[in-house]
Structure 1
């Protein structure tokens, strides 16, 4: 994925459609939800892959996916305010996990808060 624009980059109307894409999803009870991501600079983006092997290389073989056309993926992302579509990204950051820390006085381990969960209630 390139975050820079060059003079010889095609204009949006000149780009070749990506065709059918393998799109990572989150499974739900009765349906699936298309996953949205962020670029390294923080912009929201929809992600699709031209080959299931490329998707597995980035997210692992167990990542569920669906097949969508580029137009369908853009149509799903647009109401969410996501205008960027990234095809075949190769770089991902590791998943955020909870870490165990010890107090300076050598007390018992303390779990750091999980940044994915915004809660004002203290952990029990």
Structure 2
């Protein structure tokens, strides 16, 4: 008989504090507005990055951000329906660069920047 012990395995839903995060915000406003995103399944999520370089790699150079703790970001996002916080996501859909042969040439509506798909 073989017994397996998994005492060292962390719980899958165990939250580990990420430390201060670089949180994307919407530019051009008099107040700070945290950007919310959607997961591939459509759930609203707040997003934070562990470095400014990771934020720039995912969202582009020059993107506006503020520093917040994960708990502060979660406290701001939960009342407006974003119960998830995603740390260091990468974008999954690159920008469209051309029209495939035989495709319709009608303009494709773009999703607002604040609902970009992330993982």
| TM-score normalised over the length of structure 2 | 0.69
Cα deviation per residue 1:97-120 (whole Å; 9 max; x = unaligned)?
9x99xxxxxxxxx86363548xxx
Give the total of aligned pairs: 103
Cα deviation per residue 1:13-51 (whole Å; 9 max; x = unaligned)?
x42211100001101331221000011111111100011
Of structures 1 and 2, the one with the larger relative CO (CA 8 A, separation 6+) is 2
| Map of 2:42 onto structure 1 | 42
Counterpart secondary structure, 1:33: coil
Cα deviation per residue 1:71-104 (whole Å; 9 max; x = unaligned)?
110011011111111001123323589x99xxxx
Alpha-carbon distance in structure 1 between the residues aligned to 2:10 and 2:79: 27
Mark the runs of 5 or more structure 2 residues left unpaired by the alignment: 1-8, 100-104, 113-119
| Map of 1:122 onto structure 2 | none
Alpha-carbon distance in structure 2 between the residues aligned to 1:61 and 1:74: 25
Alpha-carbon distance in structure 1 between the residues aligned to 2:77 and 2:95: 23
Structure with greater strand share of residues: 1
Alpha-carbon distance in structure 2 between the residues aligned to 1:54 and 1:47: 12
Which residues of 2 match residues 1-124 of structure 1 at below 5 A? 10=11, 12=13, 14-94=14-94, 112=107, 114-116=109-111
Alpha-carbon distance in structure 2 between the residues aligned to 1:48 and 1:22: 5
Mark the runs of 5 or more structure 1 residues left unpaired by the alignment: 1-7, 101-109, 118-124
Give the 3 Å change call, closer, same or farther, for CA 94–33 of structure 1 in structure 2: farther
**Superposition CA RMSD, Å:** 3.0
Alpha-carbon distance in structure 2 between the residues aligned to 1:10 and 1:51: 26
